[in-house]
Amino acid sequence: MHEGLTDKVAFITGLARGQGRSHALSLAREGVSIVGLDICDQFDSVDYAMSTPDDLAETVRQVEEAGGKIVARVGDVRDIESILACLDEGLAAFGRVDFVLANAGIMPIWGRGSDTMRAWQDALDVLLTGVLNTIEATYPRLVEQGYGGSIVITSSMAGVQPMMRTLQGKTLGLLGYCAAKAALVNLCQNYASALARYRIRVNTVHPTGVNTPMVDNDMCQRSLAERDPEDNLTLVSALPAEILEARDISNAVVWLCSDESAFYTGSAMRIDAGASLR
Would you state the pLDDT for residue 14? 98
Is 90 exceeded by the pLDDT of residue 195? yes
Rounded to whole angstroms, the Cα distance separating 224 from 242 reads 13
Rounded to whole angstroms, the Cα distance separating 52 from 57 reads 9
Q: Where are the domains of the chain?
A: 9-270
C-alpha radius of gyration, the chain, whole number: 18
CA-to-CA dists, residue 13 to 37, 47, 64, 104, 251, angstroms: 5, 21, 18, 5, 17
Out of 48, 139, 177, 191, the active site residue is 177
As a whole number, the mean pLDDT across the chain is 97
**Does 147 qualify as catalytic in the annotation?**
no
Q: What is the mean pLDDT of residues 54-62?
A: 98
The pTM of the full predicted model, rounded to 2 decimals, is: 0.96
**Please, which pLDDT band fits residue 190 given cuts at 50, 70 and 90?**
very high
- Are the beta carbons of 85 and 133 closer than 8 angstroms? no
Rounded to whole angstroms, the Cα distance separating 71 from 130 reads 20
Reported as a single tens digit per residue, the pLDDT across 225-261 is: 998 999 998 889 999 998 999 999 999 999 999 999 9
Reported as a single tens digit per residue, the pLDDT across 196-219 is: 999 999 999 999 999 999 999 999
Would you state the pLDDT for residue 1? 83
Query: Check: CATH 3.40.50.720 for 9-270?
Result: yes
